[in-house]
């Protein structure tokens, strides 16, 4: 079976991470899987796939991914694959339009519980039509499925398949030396791995730092449009000596191992993949009590009300000072991560693929 995974780019993000982790594993199981990027900008994720020998095709490099010419550029690929599997808005929409002139089996994964276009009433008919072109829709959590059903109000088949990670890769990783990521050895290190996008809430963890002792340091891993804004907040709060921005890293398992606590502060999540990664690294995970995170973290790690830096600081303070509490949470989080081993995710996706090409 030949499958083409189509995604906007391979910059930082949960959808991108899923592609990087899963495509090589499909190939190991005998499936012929390639990747098509609307934006072929070089990134650490892209390098990882190249190093694994994955075929990567590009419609362009830089520029707008919403250029309508991409619809025409997609067409030659449709004849070569049994399934076209899209991720993110532009690939979803343009593949649906292209399918009007070229018959193909379309599958898509919905990665978020909400997005900006859902607030636009005039856009809903477009989305309803777009999803109707897909033979299979996959959502990454039950909340994502429920929200999508409420939004499109059509009877498209939607399967819920949780994202997964290679738990062993994270649990056995060797910690990166803290000096190599700009952090100090004698601090209690908080870490958040996330793109700087409107869905994320790095601001709350930055503000929480002002309520914590000076030997608590914060490492923010990732890049995105709001990185400059967050740096300005750090400067206004006089936290330059305590907050490190690493940019994008390809060695996330090793970086997470260097942390004391992993924090996921978000406004919303489709599925908190980064929280599972922190758990697999054997770290206590503290997360916003929002859809997409609470189901993973609650009763295993700790959750705090979204945007409540005071409660977040209280939890961190207890983890720092109570070693028994720290060890209990770390152990619970690691056991929880095993529920999301990527082998289970791969099995579920393969079942879908086999069912839609019969």
Domain spans in the chain, listed from the N-terminal domain onward: 2-164+341-356, 167-340
Task: Provide the angle, in degrees to the nearest 10, between the axes of the packed helices 273-280 and 323-337.
Answer: 120
167-209: per-residue pLDDT in tens?
A: 999 999 999 999 999 999 999 999 999 999 888 999 999 999 9
Q: Strand 261-264 relative to strand 243-247: parallel, antiparallel, unpaired?
A: unpaired
Enter the pTM of the model.
0.78
User: SS3 of 7, please?
Assistant: strand
Quick one: pLDDT at residue 14?
Answer: 81
Which of 255, 74, 277, 107 shows the shortest CA–CA distance to 180? 255
**Sequence-ordered list of residues with C-beta below 8 angstroms from that of 270, at least 6 positions apart, any chain:** 14, 110, 111, 112, 113, 139, 140, 141, 143, 144, 292
182 backbone φψ class: left, alpha, beta (φ>0; ψ -120 to 50): left
pLDDT at 114 over 80: no
d(CA 331, CA 292): 21
User: Quick check: do 2-164+341-356 and 167-340 share a fold?
Assistant: yes
If pLDDT is split at 50, 70 and 90, which confidence band does 112 have? confident
User: SS3 of 96, please?
Assistant: helix
pLDDT at 94 over 80: yes
Quick one: pLDDT at residue 37?
Answer: 98
336-351: per-residue pLDDT in tens?
A: 999 999 999 999 999 9
User: SS3 of 217, please?
Assistant: strand
Q: Who wins on pLDDT, 2 or 162?
A: 2
The CATH code belonging to domain 2-164+341-356 is 3.40.50.2000
The CATH code belonging to domain 167-340 is 3.40.50.2000
33-87: per-residue pLDDT in tens?
A: 999 999 999 998 999 999 999 999 999 998 899 999 999 999 999 999 999 999 9
Quick one: pLDDT at residue 272?
Answer: 86
* Residue pair 202/220 in contact by the 8 Å Cβ criterion: yes
Which of 277, 284, 273, 306 shows the shortest CA–CA distance to 188? 284
Quick one: pLDDT at residue 152?
Answer: 81
Across 262-288, average pLDDT = 94
Share of the chain above pLDDT 70, in %: 98
pLDDT at 155 over 80: no
Alpha-carbon dihedral sign for residues 273, 279, 280, 281: positive
In degrees and rounded to multiples of 5, residue 49 shows phi and psi of -65, -40
Across 261-279, average pLDDT = 92
**Mean of the per-residue pLDDT values of the chain:** 94
């Amino acid at each position: 079976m030949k499958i083409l995974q189509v995604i906007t780019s391979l910059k930082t993000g949960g959808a991108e991470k899923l592609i990087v982790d899963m495509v090589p594993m499909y190939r190991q199981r005998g499936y012929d899987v390639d990747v098509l990027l609307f934006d072929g900008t070089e990134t650490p994720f892209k390098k990882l796939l190249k190093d694994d020998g994955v075929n990567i095709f590009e419609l362009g490099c830089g520029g707008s991914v919403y250029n309508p010419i991409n619809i025409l550029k997609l067409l030659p690929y449709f004849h070569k694959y049994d399934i076209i599997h899209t991720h993110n808005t532009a690939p979803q929409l343009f593949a649906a339009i292209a399918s009007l002139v070229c018959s193909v089996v379309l599958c898509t994964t919905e990665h978020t519980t909400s997005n900006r276009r859902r607030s636009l009433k005039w856009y809903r008919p477009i989305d309803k039509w777009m999803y109707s072109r897909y033979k299979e829709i996959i959502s990454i959590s039950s909340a994502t499925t429920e929200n999508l059903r409420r939004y499109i109000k059509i009877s498209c088949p939607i399967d819920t398949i949780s994202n997964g990670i290679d738990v062993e890769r994270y649990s056995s990783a060797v910690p990166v030396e803290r000096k190599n990521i700009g952090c100090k050895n004698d601090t209690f290190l908080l870490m958040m791995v996330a793109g700087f996008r409107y869905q994320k809430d790095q601001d709350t963890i930055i503000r929480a730092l002002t309520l914590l002792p000076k030997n608590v340091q914060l490492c923010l891993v990732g890049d995105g449009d709001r990185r400059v804004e967050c740096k300005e907040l750090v400067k206004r709060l006089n936290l330059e000596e305590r907050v490190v921005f690493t940019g994008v890293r390809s060695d996330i398992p090793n970086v997470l191992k260097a942390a004391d606590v992993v924090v996921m502060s978000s406004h919303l999540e489709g599925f908190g993949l980064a929280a599972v990664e922190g758990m697999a690294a054997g770290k206590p995970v503290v997360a916003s009590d929002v859809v997409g995170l609470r189901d993973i973290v609650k009763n295993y790690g700790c959750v705090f009300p979204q945007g409540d830096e005071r409660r977040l600081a209280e939890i961190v303070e207890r983890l720092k000072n109570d070693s028994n509490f720290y060890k209990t949470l770390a152990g619970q989080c690691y056991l929880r991560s095993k529920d999301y081993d990527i082998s289970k995710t791969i099995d579920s996706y393969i079942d879908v693929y086999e069912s839609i090409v019969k």
